[in-house]
Amino acid sequence: MKKYIVVTGAAGFIGSCLVGFLNQHGFTDLILVDEFGDAAKEPNLAGKLFGEKVEREAFFDWLNGERPNVDFVCHIGARTDTTEFDYSIHQRLNVEYSQKIWAWCTEHRVPLVYASSAATYGGGELGYEDRHDLPYELKPLNPYGVSKNEFDKWALEQAAAGGITAPPFWAGLKFFNVYGPNEYHKGRMASVIFHSFNQIKKDGFVKLFKSHRPDFADGQQLRDFVYVKDVVKVCFWLMENRPESGLYNLGTGKARSFEDLVKATFAGLDLPARIEYIDMPEDIRDKYQYFTEAKMGKLRAAGYKNAFKSLEEGVIDYVRNYLAKKNYL
C-alpha cells in the first residue's frame, strides 16, 4: 500500500523546495496542499513528482473522503506577510488551520513537522533560546509573529496534556531568515538578496535601510540568514530520525549584517559593492528586528550533524546558479 507524505504550502517558497528535495530522495507519493490558483507560483512545481494536488480549503474534506495512508505531514503553509496587520487572517490561517492539522495528525497517529518562525522572538529582549517555557513570555512585533507564537503555545499545551492530544512525533521549526530559489513570486516579502540582485541589475547599486537605533550603524542590522537548501535538509532529517518532540530553532547560529549580505550578492555577480542608505518606512520602524541569532544547541544535541552553508556560500550559489539564470530548485 502506498504511503504518502503531505506537504502544505507546497507551491510556495520553502514548500516547493522541500518537494524537490523529497523527489531527489525517491519520495514521489506526495500530497501537495496549497492555493494553486496563483500563476506566479506554478513554475515552483514544474517537473516535480507527486501523487495528489489538493486545494487548501478542501483538504480536510478530501482527507475524510479519500482516507489516504499518510506517513508524515510537513505543514509549511502559512500566511507569512509581516506587513498584514489584520490579525483575523493570521488567526484563521496560521492558528486555526494549524490546529486542525495537529488534530488530524493526533487522531491518525501521524508525525508532524510544522513551520514556526523566529518572528515569535520579537525584539530579542529575552534571547533566542528554543526553550519550552519562553513562548509564554515572548512579545512578537507583528500579527504574523503573534500567530506563530500562539500556535506554539497551544501545541506545547496539547503535548503537555499527554500523548493522546499530540502526534506521535512533532517538531515546530522556528525558521530564521530563509533565502534561496523559488521565491520569485513573493514580491515585497522576498529576501533582501532577491531584491538586491534586481536592484543591481537595474541601477547598479543597492538601497539598504538606515539604522534608527544609535547602537547599530547603517547596514549593521544583524540577522541569522539560512539557505533554503539547509532548511529542507533539516526537515528531511527530522522526518527520518524523529528525535524528541518539541520546538527547534532553524538558523545557522551566526548573525550577519545586511551589509555582508549585499556584498556577497555583488560578489556573486563579480561586481564591486555599491550601497546607498535610505530611511526605513515609518510603518515598520517600531516593529523591526535589529538582531536575530538562532541558538542551535538543541537541534545539535538531538543529533543533527550537517554543517550549514556560510552566508557567502549560500548567497553566491543562489545568485550564480538561480537568480542569474532564472532557475528554480
Q: Active-site residues: which are they?
A: 144, 186
Residue showing cell 510544522: 114
Nine-digit cell string for 186:
513573493
> What is the identity of the amino acid at 20?
G
Cα dist from 245 to 115, 168, 299, whole Å: 14, 9, 11
Cα–Cα distance measured from residue 7 to residue 16, given in angstroms and rounded to the nearest whole number: 9
Residues contacting 67, CB < 8 A, separation 6+:
none
